[in-house]
Amino acid sequence: MGIFGLILNIIFLLISSFFPCGETYYSSKFCSSVKNSADKNDTYYFDNFLNYISRIRDDLFPKDKDIKRRRSPKHIIAEIICSFIMSGIGFAKMRIDLFIIEILGVFYLLIPEVIYQFMVDFYIIIYKFVNNIIDKTQIIQFIFIIISNLFALIGILIYLELIELRFCKLDKNINKNISLRAKEDEEDPEDLEEISEIKPFPIRDSLLDKNNED
């Protein structure tokens, strides 16, 4: 993030652009950017910015007009515009994450992350259904993933006290009830001491009893 993240990204981009993965079969499996060559084997890079610019130039201004373009100019322009839009969305997400950390706390970032994972999983399963490239095993796997994400989301909401379990006094030690008990202690400390000697559960639990009855 910020200047430090920008410097690191520039360094990694330079390294990935000038140091190839190789020309072997295994290089093609780990590195997706390909630099085509007519006189020797293709060279694979993890991510080559110069190769990306070269491919755009070849599609926009082909040297040989008889060669069919891989992409039309409108597709290239749309790709560049979408790249800038995604960069803006990434910056906006970073700012929102920082606001969430500042105002609420770092654990609240888990909620949008789980929701995002829900959206990704649904998109994948719908895509596979539409293109008819899904089998029974993938459907079962998808069901288990959705159930696990659902339990994770419920657990996070309970941990962050956005969901209160008002039964069996499970809400006794949430922040709201701890603050109420502390306030009662400040208002009547002497009465609470007298009552606590007679009654095993002092007056501070009255709110919890009411919650659990409701």
Predicted TM-score (pTM) of the model is: 0.56
Confidence of residue 201 (pLDDT cuts 50, 70, 90): very low
Confidence of residue 203 (pLDDT cuts 50, 70, 90): very low
Quote the pLDDT of residue 57.
82
Confidence of residue 151 (pLDDT cuts 50, 70, 90): very high
Tens of pLDDT, residue by residue over 35-84, are 655 556 677 788 878 778 888 887 787 777 666 667 778 888 888 899 89
- Please say whether the beta carbons of 176 and 161 come within 8 A: yes
Q: How far is CA 84 from its chain centroid?
A: 20
Quote the pLDDT of residue 39.
54
Quote the pLDDT of residue 184.
76
Quote the pLDDT of residue 211.
55
- Structural domain boundaries of the chain? 2-70, 106-163, 175-213
Predicted confidence (pLDDT) at residue 200 exceeds the cutoff of 80: no
Residue 26 identity: Y
% helix, strand, coil for the chain, step of 5? 70, 5, 25
- Rounded Cα distance, 157 and 115, in Å: 12
- Rounded Cα distance, 42 and 51, in Å: 12
- Rounded Cα distance, 191 and 63, in Å: 92
